[in-house]
Amino acid sequence: MTDVVVVESPAKAKTINKYLGDDFTVLASFGHVRDLPPRDGSVRPDENFAMDWEADERGVRQVAAIAKALKGARRLYLATDPDREGEAISWHVRAMLESKGALKGVEVERVTFNEITKTAVRHAMANPRDLDHPLIEAYLARRALDYLVGFTLSPVLWRKLPGSRSAGRVQSVALRLICEREAEIEVFRAREYWTVLAHLTTPAGAPFTARLTHLDGKKLDQFALANEAAAQAAKAAVQQAALSVASVERKRVKRNPPPPFTTSTLQMDASRKLGLGAQQTMRVAQQLYEGVEVGGETVGLITYMRTDGVQMAREAIDSIRAHVAAEFGADYRPAAAREYSTKARNAQEAHEAVRPTDVARTPASVARYLSAEQAKLYELIWKRAVASQMASAELDQVSVDIAGAGGVILRATGSIIAFDGFLRLYREGTDEDTKGEDDESRMLPPMAERDGLATGQIDAEQHFTQPPPRYSEASLVKKMEEIGIGRPSTYASILSVLRDRNYVRLESRRFVPEDRGRLVTAFLVSFFERYVDPQFTAGLETQLDEISDGRIDWHAVMHAFWEDFSRAVGQTTELKISDVIDALDRDLGNHFFPEREDGGDPRACTACGTGRLGLKLGRHGSFIGCSNYPACQFTRPLKVAEAGGEGGDTLSEGQRSLGTHPETGEEITVRRGPYGLYVQQGEPDPADKKAKPRRTSLPRGLEGDRITLEQALGLLSLPRLVGLHPETGEPIEAGLGRFGPFVKMGAIFASLDRDDDVLVVGLNRAVDVLARKLASIRALGEHPKDHAPVVIKKGRFGPYVQHGSMVANLPRGVDMNDLTMDEAVALLAEKGKPLKPKGAKGKAAKAPAKKAAPATGEAAPRKAPAKAPAARKPAAKKAAAKPAAKKAG
């Protein structure tokens, strides 16, 4: 029998199986096979933080497949990803196999590889190791911490702050950073200042510009010229002064290349240069890591993409240096290899930087095998890694001081690239940054001391200081890394959770906190300040890293945390709603009641004229109400109406007109219904009550007060043809369903990610999404009677066989890969049932406590309990357990 190798994804399994050959069976775990069940008592502090683990249907199915493959095998190689989560997945897989008795007589080995290449995989298989128990203990501590914070703090939020969603150990700190930046922007007051710029000409007639730096012999600081009068006086002094060159200073400086990418710097640069979100970047990087078919061979193009290390393997450095010399010349290769070390706080540096697995695979040579996103990201990674081993750029910087009568001094600066070095291949920053760099790198004309200069136009320019910018995905990741919170594998998910909870929104690629997010932050800062303090969270991350290094015991860390945390939660039991309102009103009063231009009281009630507006908490969330209630029942939502509509809710009255349909002339409106926002074409026909106007829901991320007519028309025209499948020739369509955007080929539907735009998603992306979906579907062929296709699919309740509208569940214990066509036909004839028509109502639809299952087919989480976690009850009472809580980020 063959040995068995377990990896995380089917794409990786396919690649590795080709490298290892027929002596090995490579199976995928599809990520985690079990987790803490989302209910009270899954982590029990009173029992030394014992944990209950529960496998979902998919996990049970995958472990069963692994157990079946192990029959007669000699070894099991656990080859999950080379990080903490990968180590934990291997630990879970082994534990579940042991509980099934599937490991008797089987040797269990752990192997890791930083890149999926034939050499790396075979070297790892030849050098196995044991599971890293300190790393597993760090995982246990982190998982327990996140669970206890989420499932203990979230119920407090639900009780004391109606309308809030959840709290999380790192998520809430990231939200606090966004909210505090917004508060800084709100209190910012622009300050005026002026600069004076002179257009001068050398004796040879060459023009250049210089800025006034001294007046009356005194150096001018930023606000020295505070108004137009001062600026005009300075301008007159420059015009009257006879200017000449006082000094010329020349110096050559070197600019060193940046190190190769870590997870965070990759996400930052992909955001700045390619416009990719953190989650989108990691998804594409995962594809490049797991393997892409290049010239008939499946190869991993980059090393593991979750890392905070900047070092590279010696073999990689040597090959890159050789490539630099061959491609650019010996002058571009430094005399010695460059060695890098990370400056990020709490960095582990357990893995190499993100780099190409083979520098010879240039972006141009592999572009035709990649999607547009893959090609752009690979080029970015390849260039950064190669540039990191190139020579420094050399720039000649020139500073010229120009003096005149009356203590007038101006300065002109410029720099030119004497040797481009790594800049020939790679430049950091955005297009705007690069433009500014080019402007600054202008060449100054030749000048010598005491040269007289002709004075041309003198400009006095007005400026205003700018508020600190809102965080982008890139800058927030950078800030989190600087502080030391989060880890490479968590950045993308943290940002995603904040958006999913509707705590923040992205506006012009910048995070803007929603009022709900600001309320949650104000509440946590007021009553749980320590646990949303960035320094405390960073210190806890340090302790988790020490656990993974085997320096401290994870139980000790948990006991110390839980003792203080549970006491802080207990102190909120007597917290009155009035205390919460007062704290929130105090912290957010300036936000909800900004100063009025007419100087009036921003809190004056516009309805009764005598009441004072303030924050109120109701059953369904927060709102603004009058102090004279119930005599005055004026209320308004929290949304702050701003100039131009930003932040306002123009749909508060129910609908907004977008324009008319270019063909039918019908009005296109966006409306608010009981289930959210939707767009509608035309109005109902009073004469035909059965005829309804065309409608479609707004996909997540598209806001009602910002949707355009063009976007609305695109949504109403769905589904749209994306293109023809390059292999089968079948048409692929993109559409919007009740579970969100999807792509469809024949009877096969596949959900799109939140980063995908259903209106513009391309053929390459659609084929990739369908390929993943098809991995969970097995086509048996044509039915012998009507020649319609017969397929086996993975469903919510296990695999089932489908023929047209008839379906039949596979018997318990029967693997979907073992069923034959004859068995499927017999099963359909014996147990086949017609599919329920869409919109059919049943008991499940009427149950108010249950949500519809997500598009992935996984069971929907149950409603969260209203009470904080209690001590574990005796086993006899478990039947009366409360509904499970939704997993807190």
User: Do residue 222 and residue 303 come from a single domain?
Assistant: no
- The HSE-up count of residue 208 (CA atoms within 13 Å, CB side) is 26
For the residues 258-266, what does the mean pLDDT come to? 92
Q: What angle do CA 733, 739, 740 make, to 5 degrees?
A: 55
**Model confidence band, residue 257 (pLDDT cutoffs 50, 70, 90):** very high
Alpha helices by DSSP H, listed for 717-862, are 763-774, 821-831, 843-846
Task: Please check the confidence at residue 863 and state whether its pLDDT lies above 50.
Answer: no
The two structure tokens encoding residue 789: 């296709």
Let me know if residue 239 belongs to a domain: yes
Average pLDDT, the chain: 83
The pLDDT of residue 246: 94
The answer to whether residue 19 is catalytic is: no
Find where tokens 């001294």 sit.
214
Which residues are paired to 656 by β-bridges?
670
The pLDDT of residue 674: 62
Residue 813 burial class via C-beta count within 10 angstroms: exposed 0-12, middle 13-18, buried 19 and up: exposed
- Pick 450 or 640 by higher pLDDT: 450
On whether the CB atoms of residues 191 and 223 are closer than 8 A, the answer is: yes
User: Do residue 332 and residue 375 come from a single domain?
Assistant: yes
| Listed range (45-54, 99-108, 130-139, 624-633) with the worst mean pLDDT | 624-633
Domain encompassing residue 404: 192-250+397-413+433-464
β-pairing, 207-215 with 192-201? antiparallel
The pLDDT of residue 328: 95
- Taking alpha carbons only, the member of 333, 317, 431 closest to residue 385 is 317
For the residues 634-644, what does the mean pLDDT come to? 54
Task: Please check the confidence at residue 400 and state whether its pLDDT lies above 80.
Answer: yes
Q: What is the pLDDT of residues 321-337, one digit of tens each?
A: 999 999 999 999 999 99
**85, 103, 131 - which closes a domain:** 131
| Listed range (559-563, 689-693, 752-756, 847-851) with the worst mean pLDDT | 847-851
Let me know if residue 819 belongs to a domain: no
Task: Please check the confidence at residue 247 and state whether its pLDDT lies above 70.
Answer: yes
For the residues 518-545, what does the mean pLDDT come to? 89
User: 162-179 in b/e burial notation, b at 16+ Cβ within 10 A?
Assistant: ebbbbbbbbbbbbbbbbb
Task: Please check the confidence at residue 116 and state whether its pLDDT lies above 90.
Answer: no
What does the DSSP 8-state code read for residue 531? G
For the residues 729-736, what does the mean pLDDT come to? 89
For the residues 279-289, what does the mean pLDDT come to? 90
What does the DSSP 8-state code read for residue 764? H
| Listed range (340-344, 402-406, 443-447, 767-771) with the worst mean pLDDT | 340-344
User: Do residue 216 and residue 281 come from a single domain?
Assistant: no
CATH, residue 221? 2.70.20.10
| Listed range (177-191, 306-320, 343-357) with the worst mean pLDDT | 343-357
Q: In what order do the strands lie in the sheet with 694-697?
A: 655-660, 667-673, 676-681, 694-697
Let me know if residue 378 belongs to a domain: yes
Q: What is the pLDDT of residues 23-40, one digit of tens each?
A: 899 998 888 899 998 888
The two structure tokens encoding residue 566: 């549970």
pTM here? 0.66
The pLDDT of residue 638: 65
Which residue in 289, 304, 378, 800 is the catalytic one? 304
User: Do residue 316 and residue 361 come from a single domain?
Assistant: yes
For the residues 213-232, what does the mean pLDDT come to? 94
| Three-class DSSP labels, 677-744 | EEEEECCCCCCCCCCCCEEEECCCCCCCCCCCHHHHHHHHCCCEEEEECCCCCCEEEEEEECCEEEEE
The pLDDT of residue 536: 92
**Model confidence band, residue 431 (pLDDT cutoffs 50, 70, 90):** very low
Which residues are paired to 4 by β-bridges?
25, 76
Residue 456 burial class via C-beta count within 10 angstroms: exposed 0-12, middle 13-18, buried 19 and up: exposed
User: Do residue 237 and residue 326 come from a single domain?
Assistant: no
d(CA 518, CA 501): 12
CATH, residue 40? 3.40.50.140
Query: Sign (positive/negative) of CA torsion 881, 885, 887, 889?
Result: negative
User: Do residue 315 and residue 376 come from a single domain?
Assistant: yes
d(CA 537, CA 530): 9
For the residues 790-804, what does the mean pLDDT come to? 82
Which range has highest mean pLDDT (373-387, 502-516, 639-653)?
373-387
Q: Which secondary-structure segment (H or E) carries 207?
A: strand 207-215
Alpha helices by DSSP H, listed for 593-672, are none
User: Do residue 41 and residue 78 come from a single domain?
Assistant: yes
d(CA 704, CA 676): 10
Q: How far is CA 414 from the centre of its chain?
A: 39
Task: Please check the confidence at residue 346 and state whether its pLDDT lies above 50.
Answer: no
- Please give the tally of structural domains in the chain: 3
**113, 131, 149 - which closes a domain:** 131
The two structure tokens encoding residue 131: 């599971």
Let me know if residue 228 belongs to a domain: yes
The pLDDT of residue 508: 82
d(CA 25, CA 6): 9
Within 10 A of 361 (CB to CB), how many other CB atoms are there? 18
User: Do residue 240 and residue 220 come from a single domain?
Assistant: yes
Let me know if residue 626 belongs to a domain: no
- Pick 756 or 175 by higher pLDDT: 175
Percent with pLDDT over 90 in the chain: 36
For the residues 525-552, what does the mean pLDDT come to? 90
User: Do residue 237 and residue 284 come from a single domain?
Assistant: no
**Model confidence band, residue 619 (pLDDT cutoffs 50, 70, 90):** low
Q: What is the pLDDT of residues 817-835, one digit of tens each?
A: 778 888 889 888 888 888 7
On whether the CB atoms of residues 231 and 196 are closer than 8 A, the answer is: yes
- Taking alpha carbons only, the member of 609, 605, 695, 712 closest to residue 657 is 712
Task: Please check the confidence at residue 795 and state whether its pLDDT lies above 60.
Answer: yes
CATH, residue 277? 1.10.290.10
- Pick 795 or 457 by higher pLDDT: 457
**Model confidence band, residue 637 (pLDDT cutoffs 50, 70, 90):** low
The values of phi and psi at residue 860, to 5°, are -70, 145
Percent with pLDDT over 70 in the chain: 87
Which residues are paired to 75 by β-bridges?
107
Which residues are paired to 109 by β-bridges?
77
The two structure tokens encoding residue 483: 């502080």
Within 10 A of 403 (CB to CB), how many other CB atoms are there? 17
On whether the CB atoms of residues 96 and 56 are closer than 8 A, the answer is: no
On whether the CB atoms of residues 291 and 15 are closer than 8 A, the answer is: yes
Amino acid at 448: A
The pLDDT of residue 380: 96
Which residues are paired to 455 by β-bridges?
200
Task: Please check the confidence at residue 231 and state whether its pLDDT lies above 80.
Answer: yes
β-pairing, 720-724 with 731-737? antiparallel
Q: What angle do CA 624, 625, 631 make, to 5 degrees?
A: 170
The pLDDT of residue 876: 40
User: Do residue 383 and residue 402 come from a single domain?
Assistant: no
Let me know if residue 221 belongs to a domain: yes
Helix axes 10-20, 118-126, angle to 10 degrees: 80
Rama region for 122: left / alpha / beta (φ>0; ψ in -120 to 50; rest): alpha
The values of phi and psi at residue 648, to 5°, are -80, 165
Within 10 A of 190 (CB to CB), how many other CB atoms are there? 9
What three-state secondary structure class fits 774?
Answer: helix
Let me know if residue 547 belongs to a domain: no
| Listed range (62-71, 111-120, 683-692) with the worst mean pLDDT | 683-692
Let me know if residue 282 belongs to a domain: yes
| Three-class DSSP labels, 518-541 | HHHHHHHHHHCHHHHCHHHHHHHH
On whether the CB atoms of residues 108 and 76 are closer than 8 A, the answer is: yes
Q: What is the dihedral of CA 678, 681, 687, 692, to 10 degrees?
A: -50
d(CA 273, CA 294): 26
User: Do residue 277 and residue 370 come from a single domain?
Assistant: yes
**Model confidence band, residue 384 (pLDDT cutoffs 50, 70, 90):** very high
Task: Please check the confidence at residue 316 and state whether its pLDDT lies above 60.
Answer: yes
Q: How many residues does the chain have?
A: 889
User: Do residue 405 and residue 365 come from a single domain?
Assistant: no
**Model confidence band, residue 582 (pLDDT cutoffs 50, 70, 90):** confident
My answer on whether omega of the bond before 38 falls inside 30° of 0, hence cis, is: no
Q: What is the pLDDT of residues 463-501, one digit of tens each?
A: 999 999 999 988 898 899 888 887 777 888 888 888 888
Which distant-in-sequence residues (6+ apart) come within 8 Å of 97 by Cβ? 63, 66, 67, 70, 76, 103
